[in-house]
Structure 1
């Protein structure tokens, strides 16, 4: 019986140790970009809005977390937030639907986030529903593109500038572990 308890205790200790090591290899990176929805944009018809290429902070973050970009095992988008930066006081009440896509050189485009049937009582901030898609190869490229498909339900009489914040959960191998 003592041998059974000792074996069970060692097994439990091993499981707890593995969980702690897994937590050490997981962290979050935050990439930022921006886009502008131009005044006079069509209503009720989807149209595309592009952003400048995004230079990911992944390589810098990997170094700070004692790892390297080639040691990434998995990347998932945890959060995608849109905030209107100008004009001041503007809300997303003009927005009906939005879809966000990611692409990178040599990789296919993937839908990563969306919001449908957006209510008129929203503020200047929206958190989109994220898709559960693997993004490891896109982040490893260092630079990627974001394309936004937007449908509005109001005519815009001024340009709307939007800041995009993407939070990615990284699971990587740690050097020496």
Structure 2
């Protein structure tokens, strides 16, 4: 009897020792995606660029299962980070862009802005970390597939096509214990 009371007391103490934030972390994880787009060479300055990725399979069901949750327990999904990297040409850099905007879309849902960068400096190099909007994109990633669209404008000419990898990390927060 004394052993049972001691175990019960230790259990209660353990529950109070772990904060809600610690328990919350057990149902939080990240989903990563990488897609590519190509900006064609241009001799005209100031033209708007509007590029879309092919449909991206969300694979959310398998990702949720791998994290011991399901789509009906997802509370929120938000873009945590997005990086654009020029992969071709090797010496490519983003100095030709004036600004960029990334949007997400999915079947039956309105397109929503998820990341942006304004006033790209000339010495930016071949990689850009975008500012994220923090909008909840749960409905988009619960679909079987989604698409990203990049809208930007140029302030310099480019003589070669530029291939850009779009690396996205989405933060997922699921309900605790199905509650």
TM-score (norm 2): 0.86
Q: Which runs of 4+ in 1 moved over 4 A?
A: 10-13, 174-177
TM-score (norm 1): 0.86
Unaligned runs of at least 5 residues, structure 2: 1-11
Return the offset for 1:173: 3.1
Paired position in structure 1 for 2:46: 44
Matches within 5 A, 1:145-156: 145-156=147-158
Match of 2:145 among 143, 147, 151: 143
CA distance in 2, matches of 1:46, 1:58: 33
Give the number of aligned pairs. 168
Paired position in structure 1 for 2:68: 66
Matches within 5 A, 1:12-51: 14=16, 16-40=18-42, 42-51=44-53
3-state SS, counterpart of residue 121 of structure 2: coil
Paired position in structure 2 for 1:79: 81
CA distance in 1, matches of 2:93, 2:123: 8
Does 2:111 align with 1:109? yes
Return the offset for 1:145: 1.0
Match of 1:127 among 129, 138, 143: 129
CA distance in 1, matches of 2:84, 2:49: 17
Return the offset for 1:78: 0.5
1:41–1:161: structure 2 CA closer, same or farther, 3 Å change rule?
A: farther
